[in-house]
């Protein structure tokens, strides 16, 4: 979900427009040394003050729409530099690792002819790589020199864009990189929620989803409550859930509690049952699905796993997911500044607790444990811990 949101931010925050503007004129001028380039530079800083870097003194900043990103363009409109910071904690603009940053850049700018390039020195940055390639943005194309790296605080992509990347551009970027300064900041957090045992219970119910999104399951709603998270959550709720106000928020919450994803789940599992999947031995079910349905190998395995859950737990096999998702939605409503209603908050927590407890007493209800492991196999250890805590509280 948030990978898509990051990509959308990349394209909408002005980066694509800036890059498109760099290819309108040819490059020229003599190549200068790194020291000569640095002597003609001045400091540019992100709006939040967390990063500064020196660029040619004639350049001007561009609004990137994100406080911890920096964009600047030459006076001729021929060249641009973009510094993209992805804080590792406390931000809604999250990526899982440096590979995630690379994937976002490559996909967002339709990168082609990507090749390894010289890695400059960037103070305080580790795990660095660099490459060059061709990009396409807003219908125009050009070339990029991209440096990737990380600090304890954040992942980074530092990009130099021009119609053609040559020695002059790389020398200038190396000079700029040598002036890089990071000043980590604590994000503003206006939350009024005390982290009580009850709130920890809420957090634990959807902790795996929080972790997958790169947020903090020890914080209510997973992220700080501030204007940035408010704006992004409002957009996210609108895009993914059609929630724009209190009325639509209640409507969505009612749907997930009364029907939710489990309705489609039961319909799909019933269809597989009618198709004869239940009569096939467990080790042959994946092949059966691949032979009879137009799905990928991964999708086939997903159906096999889901059907096994359906056989064991019945129509309520993913009820725990829906009830935990309801709690998760309530926390998103909080970040989006949609007024809360305590009676609504209590209902999904009661249902989630019932679904959890019933895993010990009635095998036709869903312990959250099984649902969560199905969501993210690699987080299995975390899942068990969260669910055990959830039972104990």
Distance, CA of 177 to chain centre: 26
The reported pLDDT for the residue numbered 227 is: 85
Tokens linked to 295: 């799905």
Show the CA angle centred on residue 120, arms to residues 53 and 177, nearest 5°.
Answer: 5
**How far is 393 from 388, CA to CA, in rounded Å?**
9
The reported pLDDT for the residue numbered 19 is: 56
DSSP letter, residue 123? T
The reported pLDDT for the residue numbered 387 is: 34
**Count of Cβ atoms closer than 10 Å to residue 173 Cβ:** 27
Interval 282-306 mean pLDDT: 94
* Residues 46-56: tens digit of each pLDDT: 999 999 999 99
The reported pLDDT for the residue numbered 238 is: 94
Residue 126: helix, strand or coil by DSSP?
strand
**Angle, in degrees to the nearest 10, between helices 319-335 and 368-375:** 70
Number of Cα atoms under 13 Å in the Cβ half of residue 17: 10
Residue boundaries of the structural domains of the chain: 2-182, 197-392
pLDDT tier, 280 (very low <50, low <70, confident <90, very high otherwise): very high
Task: Report the candidate in 238, 214, 208, 218 with the shortest Cα–Cα distance to residue 332.
Answer: 238
The reported pLDDT for the residue numbered 11 is: 45
The reported pLDDT for the residue numbered 184 is: 92
Secondary structure (H, E, C), 193-257: CCCCHHHHHHHHHCHHHHHHCCCCCCCHHHCCCCHHHHHHHHHHHHHHHCCCCHHHHHHHHHHHH
Task: Report the candidate in 371, 367, 374, 358 with the shortest Cα–Cα distance to residue 388.
Answer: 367
The reported pLDDT for the residue numbered 96 is: 80
The reported pLDDT for the residue numbered 94 is: 67
* Residues 112-137: tens digit of each pLDDT: 999 999 999 999 999 999 999 998 87
- Higher local confidence (pLDDT), 270 or 88: 270
pLDDT tier, 67 (very low <50, low <70, confident <90, very high otherwise): confident
The reported pLDDT for the residue numbered 91 is: 63
* Residues 170-185: tens digit of each pLDDT: 999 999 999 999 999 8
**How far is 390 from 392, CA to CA, in rounded Å?**
5
Task: Give the chain's mean pLDDT.
Answer: 79
* Residues 22-46: tens digit of each pLDDT: 543 334 455 677 788 888 899 999 9
Query: 334, 220 in Cβ contact below 8 A?
Result: yes
CA distances from 392 to 167, 207, 248 (A): 62, 16, 34
* Residues 364-380: tens digit of each pLDDT: 333 332 223 222 223 32
Question: Which one of 3.40.1000.10, 3.90.1150.10, 3.30.420.40, 1.10.10.10 gives the CATH number of domain 2-182?
Answer: 3.40.1000.10
The reported pLDDT for the residue numbered 197 is: 86
Q: For residue 353, is pLDDT > 90?
A: no
The reported pLDDT for the residue numbered 29 is: 52
pLDDT tier, 7 (very low <50, low <70, confident <90, very high otherwise): very low
Beta bridge partners of 147: 130, 158
**How far is 326 from 331, CA to CA, in rounded Å?**
9
């Amino acid at each position: 979900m948030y990978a898509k949101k990051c990509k959308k931010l990349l394209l909408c925050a002005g980066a694509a427009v800036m890059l498109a503007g760099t290819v309108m004129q040819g490059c020229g001028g003599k190549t200068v040394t790194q020291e000569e380039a640095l002597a003609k530079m001045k400091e540019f800083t992100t709006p939040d003050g967390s990063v500064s870097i020196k660029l040619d003194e004639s350049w001007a900043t561009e609004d990137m729409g994100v406080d911890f990103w920096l964009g600047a363009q030459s006076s001729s409109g021929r060249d641009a530099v973009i510094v993209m910071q992805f804080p590792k904690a406390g931000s809604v603009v999250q990526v899982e690792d440096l590979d995630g940053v690379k994937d976002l850049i490559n996909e967002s700018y339709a990168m082609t002819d990507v090749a390894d390039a010289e890695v400059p020195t960037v103070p305080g940055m580790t795990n660095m790589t660099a490459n060059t390639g061709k990009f396409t943005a807003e219908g125009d194309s050009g070339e990029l020199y991209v440096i990737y790296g990380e600090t304890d605080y954040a992942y980074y992509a530092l990009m130099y864009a021009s119609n053609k990347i040559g020695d002059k551009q790389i020398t200038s970027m190396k000079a700029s990189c040598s002036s890089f300064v990071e000043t980590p900041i604590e994000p503003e957090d206006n939350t009024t929620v005390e982290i009580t045992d009850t709130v920890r219970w809420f957090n634990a119910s959807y902790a795996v989803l929080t972790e997958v999104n790169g947020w903090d399951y020890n914080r209510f709603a997973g992220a700080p409550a501030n204007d940035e998270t408010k704006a992004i959550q409002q957009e996210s709720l609108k895009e993914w859930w059609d929630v724009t106000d209190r009325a639509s928020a209640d409507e969505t919450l009612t749907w997930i509690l009364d029907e939710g994803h489990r309705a489609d789940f039961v319909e799909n599992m019933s269809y597989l049952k009618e198709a004869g999947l239940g009569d096939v031995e467990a080790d042959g079910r994946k092949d059966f699905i691949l032979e009879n349905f137009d799905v990928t190998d991964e999708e086939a395995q997903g159906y096999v796993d889901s059907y096994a859950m359906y056989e064991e737990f019945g129509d309520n096999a993913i009820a725990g997911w829906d009830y935990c998702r309801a709690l998760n939605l309530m926390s998103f409503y909080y970040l989006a500044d949609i007024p809360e209603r305590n009676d609504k908050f209590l209902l999904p927590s009661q249902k989630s607790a019932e679904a959890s407890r019933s895993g010990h007493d009635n095998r036709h209800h869903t312990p959250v444990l099984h649902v969560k492991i199905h969501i993210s196999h690699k987080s299995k250890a975390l899942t068990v811990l969260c669910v055990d805590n959830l039972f104990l509280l």
